[in-house]
Amino acid sequence: MTELLYQKDSYLKEFEGEIIEVNREDKTVILDKTAFYPTGGGQKSDTGVLVSGDKNFKVINVKKKGDKVLHYIEEELPTVGMKVIGKINWDNRYKFMRTHTAMHALCGVIWNEYKGVVTGGDMEPLKGRMDFELDNYSFDKAFVEDVEKKVNEEIQRDRAVKVNILPREEAFKIPDLIRTKVNLLPEGITEIRTVEIEGLDLQADGGTHVASTKDIGRIKLVDYKSKGKNNKRIYLEIE
């Protein structure tokens, strides 16, 4: 099992690890621990480099497979047992942290004001989109402008963002922990990671986040679309 360092510390830019498995056909390596975030939850993977002595192994993609994290290497592969220093592409990671937390702030406002559950979402650095199930609301420019105003007000309150890893049974005692229409958490998971924006939002989530909402910056809801009778899409960007 790979120890997932990013789950406890999103600000970890470098880490020491050991190569425990190499797949030469797929050009992937597995480490005993990693701070590289694998693609998931609408968030793209980290990129970066594994360094051993004078050798640099470029990490171009990261995916999770069961309890292992596959690091895709661009050219020459390291060998099993090699000690490496992993270095994250921090500029890209931090943009994703800001974006992911912004989407949680949007989710918190939509849930608290309108009880809208999430039906989908995706993100790129400093922009993203979220789909919500919204019943009996006029989904128009005035609605979206009001939501934008409320989200930015919450962001400027400098709310702390806290991460916890809880036993499954304890986590599911939290009301409304799952904000998606479909529960995407596998049955076999014994521990649930939660992300809380104090006083605004609390949900199960595996992504990386900033420590305070003020670190997000200001958001702009740049577009909106109706994707069906009750399914509404909102696009955001971070200024």
CATH code for the domain in which residue 56 is found: 2.40.30.130
Q: Which of 57, 88, 119 delimits the end of a domain?
A: 88
Dist CA 231 CA 158 (whole Å): 30
Looking at the fold, whether 58 and 165 belong to one and the same domain comes out as: no
Looking at the fold, whether 116 and 148 belong to one and the same domain comes out as: yes
Other beta carbons within 10 Å of 161 = 22
From residue 57, alpha-carbon distances to 12, 60, 87, 193, 224 in Å are 19, 9, 10, 30, 41
Looking at the fold, whether 104 and 186 belong to one and the same domain comes out as: yes
Q: Any bridge partners for residue 164, and if so which?
A: 194
Q: How many domains are contained in the chain?
A: 2
Domain enclosing residue 56, as ranges: 3-88
**Weakest-pLDDT range from 39-43, 109-113, 137-141, 216-220:** 137-141
Looking at the fold, whether 125 and 186 belong to one and the same domain comes out as: yes
Helix (H) or strand (E) holding 108: helix 90-114
Q: Per residue in 151-188, pLDDT tens? A: 999 999 999 999 999 998 888 888 777 666 555 566 66
Closest alpha carbon to 209 in 101, 103, 136, 123:
101
Q: Which amino acid is at 219?
A: I
Q: What is the pTM of this model?
A: 0.93
Looking at the fold, whether 185 and 99 belong to one and the same domain comes out as: yes
Greater confidence (235 vs 169) lies with: 235
Q: Which of 41, 70, 88 delimits the end of a domain?
A: 88
Dist CA 93 CA 95 (whole Å): 5
pLDDT, mean of residues 118-136:
92
| 5 CB-side CA count, 13 A | 17
Helix axes 141-156, 90-114, angle to 10 degrees: 120
Looking at the fold, whether 28 and 139 belong to one and the same domain comes out as: no
Looking at the fold, whether 76 and 23 belong to one and the same domain comes out as: yes
Is 204:107 a contact under the CB 8 Å cutoff?
A: no
Looking at the fold, whether 81 and 118 belong to one and the same domain comes out as: no
Which pLDDT does position 237 carry in this prediction?
Answer: 98
Which pLDDT does position 181 carry in this prediction?
Answer: 57
CATH number of the domain where residue 151 is located: 3.30.980.10
Q: Which amino acid is at 162?
A: K
Q: Which of 29, 58, 88 delimits the end of a domain?
A: 88
Looking at the fold, whether 83 and 97 belong to one and the same domain comes out as: no
Which pLDDT does position 146 carry in this prediction?
Answer: 96
Q: Per residue in 54-101, pLDDT tens? A: 999 999 999 999 888 999 999 999 999 999 999 999 999 999 999 999
Looking at the fold, whether 39 and 104 belong to one and the same domain comes out as: no
Looking at the fold, whether 142 and 183 belong to one and the same domain comes out as: yes
